[in-house]
Chains A and B, each alone.
Chain A
């Protein structure tokens, strides 16, 4: 099933912080985070793996609560370039298929 992201949209001023949440109804192997600018392909930000390993950007942080099947993406001191739509994608723990199912997205707008 599709993960649920919240909030659906966020408007920030430069320098403010934001948190985007991603919840799943099933046990997870990994959570992926992507950012997409209008008219462009999604760009990889981070992967969080079961067991605590993280791979991704130094300036973006995220957490993965395996018990609650939730992940949060933390955007601190936001910049104009952070604007875009953020997607979380989940891979289930059953079966090594690689299937990545995405949430509906969270639109982030950073204003000067």
Chain B
């Protein structure tokens, strides 16, 4: 069972570079989201999607773009990486919206130097 798959697991970027964190789920889940986790800050919602073609901003969307062209995939793009974006990123999905269990991917560790 693959569940929620994130790639890459580790990445080092230089300031100003761009990259895309990939997220795919094989559970036919409608709802997908991206969180970042920094020490002492808990998990903060970046962007989320309630279905293909529909995305919206979370708590900390600045510096990140998302798109949802298929139900399975929800990539997170950093257009111009900054040291403040050094963090652990988690992708998550659930089969519905409110009141449904949310399943997390294993995380992507990103360092911007």
Contacts and interface: CB of A to CB of B under 8 A. Distances in A.
Contacts of A102: 35, 42-45
B76 interface: no
B71 interface: no
Nearest to B49: A98
Most chain B C-beta atoms within 10 Å of own C-beta, residue among A32, A42, A96: A42
Interface of A: 2, 29-30, 32, 40-44, 47, 49, 55, 87, 89, 91, 96-105
Contact of B99 (A30, A87, A99): A30
Nearest to A103: B42
B40 A99 contact: no
Contact of B98 (A42, A98, A104): A98
B41 to A, nearest CB: 7
Contacts, number: 69
Q: How large is the interface on B (under 10, 10 to 19, 20 to 34, 35 or more residues)?
A: 20 to 34
B27 to A, nearest CB: 14
A44 B102 contact: yes
Contacts of A30: 98-99
B102 to A, nearest CB: 6
Contact of B48 (A2, A29, A98): A98
A93 B64 CA distance: 27
Given A99-B33, A100-B92, 13 more contacts: A32-B102, A41-B105, A41-B107, A44-B101, A55-B101, A87-B43, A97-B48, A98-B33, A98-B98, A99-B45, A100-B102, A102-B44, A104-B41
